[in-house]
Structure 1
Amino acid sequence: MDARTSETEDAAAAQHARPRTPTLKDVARLAGVSIATASKALNGRDNVHPDTRRRVVETAERISFTPNSLAQSLLAGQTGTVGLLTNDLEGRFSIPVLMGAEDAFGAGKMSVFLCDAREDAIREQYHLHALLGRRIDGLIVVGSRTDPRPSLGDLAVPVVYAYAPSDDPADCSLVPDNVHAGHLAVEHLVATGRTRIAHIGGDRTYDAARARDTGIREALAAAGLGLTGGETLFGSWSEQWGRAATQSLLDRQPDLDAIICGSDQIARGALDTLRERGVQVPRQVAVASFDNWQILATGSRPQLTSIDMCFEALGRAAADRLVQAIDGRRTHGVEALPCRLEVRGSTVEGA
């Protein structure tokens, strides 16, 4: 016997010894029904007698039959796959949104194709065509900032926009509620006895900066207060801006007792200036900020009280809305999701 004959016989023996995966045909034969009836019974169709359904299900369990999920989804007109299209995969905000969406899809055994357009309209269209070519069931589009972005139009599959809303009110968009975030910051500071509150904002061209300022002013008015200094100091999303703006505030408003900073980065700069000027935080001046970026908020001294924008929850909600749309229950318009206050030592001693 030559070596090739021996190898062939060994392979055949191994194939014979390897347990064969049970099929729907096996279930039908052992349960004494047709393949069509077995399929209907396992898929929960109504036109199957209860006794027959029970017999088929028990048979499937006995032989460890697992339905082919891809075949089932194709029969239902779906592939069990979705696309996640982002414009800022390296961004601070889009990553947790994507993580939340992937977690939600993973719990439902949905496969996810992730593409990064890198703020390039041509690249975005290329990825979009590639995803549609893979017969995805739906798409989540994640932006890099909360300003409205152009709609992708009427596609063959449902689309949900997360973080950056679509400019078309007929689309479904989910964003963090930055106005609510501004309310939370003021309400917390007022509750701790602060009445002379100033605001150092980020880049005025960002929707998030303007929305947070709106929320701050609304909450101050509701508390019978005004903004110390009369105006918001808008600048950039940087520690350098936080240092410079705080110097200006202390020179003009030495009696202020709280500063709301447009981001954790700005707040880090504000803390630097307050420390250099010998101002005790939070005893003399409290500092609150937005984003709750853990590496900055918990690395500050004292640690920063910050408004968490709940990005992962936003991603999970986007995934839920997409699954609903795939099931035929589409929603429209922009939905603003609530934020959460994380209290730390920059506003409450010992927190």
Structure 2
Amino acid sequence: MASARNESAVTVRDVAQLAGVSPGTVSKALNGQGQLREETRQRVQEAADKLRFRPNQVARSLAEGRTYTVGMLTSDSFGRFTLPLMEGIEDSLGAGKVSTLLCDGRGDPLRERHYLAELLNRRVDGIVVTGRRPDARRSVGQLPIPVVYVLGRSDDPGDLSVTNDDEQGARLAVEHLVAHGRTRLAYVSGPAHHLSTQLRQQGFEAAAAAAGVEVADVLLGRWSEAWGRTAAQMLARRTGGAVDAVFCGSDQIARGLTDGLREAGVRVPVEVSVVGFDNWDVMAEAARPPLTTIDPRLVRLGRESASRLLAAIDGAELGQGVVAQPCELVIRESSVPT
């Protein structure tokens, strides 16, 4: 207890005295401000470390007009998308010692407005908005602080949205299947009105046309394993090997589809290759066989969105429109016959 009291009692003046500089120089050195020689910054830092000096963050916030906190507003109660995004966000914010306040709006507009008001009352320096899936979402409107949308893009083109490139991811899947000799491809995905379904279908069909292979079927349903099993039954009823590869709009659908094909006596990937989307490890690695899939690289999306937000907080232009980051193909056993 005595040690804790001694550490908390250390002041800027104590550090200045040990380092042989003024208190103002200590503040500039520890906050990365001012035109100081590197030797001086190093001497101040060594003195602060020796005395175990902890800057008063409240005083720093008042002096700089910042709270060093960022709000994260999500509708993803399950956390499937929010957790990896937050990992990336905290990777970027942690270097600047900025804290994150997570608020789950649960897709409820009233709850979301409450959290926005609360975040503004807490004087956060900026806000990251995300959701359950990479689909368009309603803008939170013009706020007095920078706002970045990640994964789910804002419906306002004046906002900045950082998301994965669904079309490019679908092209990766098709190119991989074609490279392994597949020529009759099907697309099985979620609801037709979802933007991610539409973009992945566009990429799928464009890549198939470019490769000169057949689009044998397009089946749209729900984001679920049950729908994947149903789609597998529909495809398995066809005679004459009508389909030799399937690109699924999610790993959940792909896992259900591989189960359904196996139950119907269709061998994956010997007779039909399967590629999913999301690289959700609990789905992809536990599938039989493990799923080849498209990774939207959510952690990287989180890092990118937070980096842009920090730059805007520091005075840079935030920008607007959609920034689409490329996806990555992760190859497992469901697509390549051995």
In the alignment, structure 1 residue 36 sits paired with structure 2 residue 24: yes
Q: CA deviation at 1:38?
A: 4.4
Provide Cα deviations, 1:301-348, integer angstroms capped at 9, x if missing partner.
111111112122211221111111111221211111111111111111
1:343 pairs, out of 328, 331, 335, with 331
Match of 1:228, SS? strand
Q: CA deviation at 1:250?
A: 3.1
In the alignment, structure 1 residue 67 sits paired with structure 2 residue 47: no
Counterpart for residue 142 of structure 1: 130
Counterpart for residue 103 of structure 1: 91
Work out the CA distance in 1 between the residues paired with 2:40 and 2:225.
70
Q: Residue type of the partner of 2:304?
A: A
Work out the CA distance in 1 between the residues paired with 2:281 and 2:105.
27
Q: Structure 1 residues 55, 191: closer, same or farther in 2, change over 3 A?
A: closer
Counterpart for residue 260 of structure 2: 273
What are structure 2's unaligned runs of at least 5 residues? none
Q: Residue type of the partner of 2:269?
A: P
Counterpart for residue 237 of structure 2: 251
Counterpart for residue 300 of structure 2: 313
Counterpart for residue 7 of structure 1: none
Provide Cα deviations, 1:4-56, integer angstroms capped at 9, x if missing partner.
xxxxxxxxxx8699635321122344556553354345555546688877775
Match of 1:115, SS? strand
Provide Cα deviations, 1:135-157, integer angstroms capped at 9, x if missing partner.
11111011222222221222111
Counterpart for residue 165 of structure 1: 153
Counterpart for residue 236 of structure 1: 222
Q: Structure 1 residues 50, 308: closer, same or farther in 2, change over 3 A?
A: closer
Identity %: 50
Matches within 5 A, 1:181-330: 181-229=169-217, 232-252=218-238, 254-255=240-241, 256-329=243-316, 330=318
Provide Cα deviations, 1:184-203, integer angstroms capped at 9, x if missing partner.
11010011111111112221
Normalised by the size of structure 2, how large is the TM-score?
0.89
Q: Structure 1 residues 277, 156: closer, same or farther in 2, change over 3 A?
A: same
Contact 2:301 2:325 in 1 (8 A): yes
Provide Cα deviations, 1:243-302, integer angstroms capped at 9, x if missing partner.
222222233353221111222222223223322332221111111111122122111111
Q: Residue type of the partner of 2:211?
A: A
Match of 2:276, SS? strand
Contact 1:217 1:226 in 2 (8 A): no
Provide Cα deviations, 1:79-121, integer angstroms capped at 9, x if missing partner.
1111111112214323322332233323432111111111111
Work out the CA distance in 2 between the residues paired with 1:172 and 1:271.
38
Q: Structure 1 residues 268, 47: closer, same or farther in 2, change over 3 A?
A: closer
Work out the CA distance in 1 between the residues paired with 2:52 and 2:142.
43
Which protein is bigger by CA-based radius of gyration? 1
Work out the CA distance in 1 between the residues paired with 2:70 and 2:307.
12
Contact 1:89 1:95 in 2 (8 A): no
**How many residues get paired?**
335
Contact 1:145 1:206 in 2 (8 A): no
